[in-house]
Structure 1
Amino acid sequence: MCKHVLNAQVAIRSPCCRKWFDCAECHQEKEDHQLLQSFDMTFACKKCKKCFRKDAREFEESDEYCPHCDNHFVIDAITPKPSLQVEGEDVRVDSRMLKDERTRGEDQRTIFNLKDAADRLG
């Protein structure tokens, strides 16, 4: 799994070291050499697990799909974004972290509220 592109649809074989990577940043992190750029690219579809080649000089709209399973692999990349979240127990065990808008707590008691006038002394 690639930590740079969360929705990577294909793995790319690097022409320099003949290893498979999900993106160029993965190659840069794991190898000690620069990625060799080439127009003849070899892909492995992550849906059907079959390999195919594409020429990047003559890349058309029909080349955005796997020739074996028609998986659309040229899509906008989803990259991870930092977020701050609260960790809690499983909500099936402890649901105190969930806020239900349907139930409302009792309003504060005041001396001007006629609803609880019978409960007051005096």
Structure 2
Amino acid sequence: MCKHILNAQVAVRSPCCKKWFDCADCHAEQETHPLLQRFEMIFACKKCKKCFRKDAQEMEEADEYCPHCDNHYVIPAKTPQAAISVESEDVRVDNRMIRDDRVKPNPEKERRTIFDPDADGDKLG
């Protein structure tokens, strides 16, 4: 799994060291030599696990699909973004994430308002 491109559809075989990588950044992290660039590229589809060759000089719209399973592998890359979020199940099924259990009103205790005449109401400070 590539940590740089989250939706990588193919792995690419590097022509310099003959190893498989999901992206050029993965090659740069694992190897000490620079990536050798060639026009003929060897891909391995992650859906059907079959390999195929493509010439990058003659790429057409029909070449954006795996020749074995028609998986569309030329898609916009999803890169990881820093975000703070709360992951939960569907709130219609489990609403514990949105329910506030901090203060439960006691029905036996009288509810006070700011308009109650009480001795403590004169203490403001």
TM-score, length-normalised on structure 1? 0.74
Call closer, same or farther: CA 1:6–1:87 in 2, change over 3 Å.
closer
Distance across 1 between alignment mates of 2:50 and 2:60: 20
Deviation for aligned residue 1:111: 5.8
For the residue of structure 1 that corresponds to 2:2, the secondary structure is coil
Distance across 1 between alignment mates of 2:28 and 2:112: 64
CA RMSD between the two structures: 2.7
For the residue of structure 2 that corresponds to 1:63, the secondary structure is helix
> Runs of 4+ in structure 1 displaced over 6 angstroms?
none
**Sequence identity of aligned pairs in percent?**
70
Unmatched runs of 5 consecutive residues or more in structure 1: 89-93, 113-122
Distance across 2 between alignment mates of 1:87 and 1:55: 42
Residue correspondences, number: 102
For the residue of structure 2 that corresponds to 1:28, the secondary structure is helix
Unmatched runs of 5 consecutive residues or more in structure 2: 89-93, 106-110, 116-125
Deviation for aligned residue 1:83: 1.6
CA distances 1:64-121 after superposition (whole Å, capped 9, x unpaired):
0000000000000000011224689xxxxx975x115xxxx87x85366xxxxxxxxx
Distance across 2 between alignment mates of 1:109 and 1:39: 78
| Correspondence for 2:113 | 110
Q: Pairwise mapping of residues 1-122 of structure 1 onto structure 2 (< 5 A)?
A: 1-85=1-85, 96=96, 98-100=97-99, 109-110=112-113
CA distances 1:7-50 after superposition (whole Å, capped 9, x unpaired):
00000000000000000000000000000000000000000000
Distance across 2 between alignment mates of 1:59 and 1:87: 40
TM-score, length-normalised on structure 2? 0.72
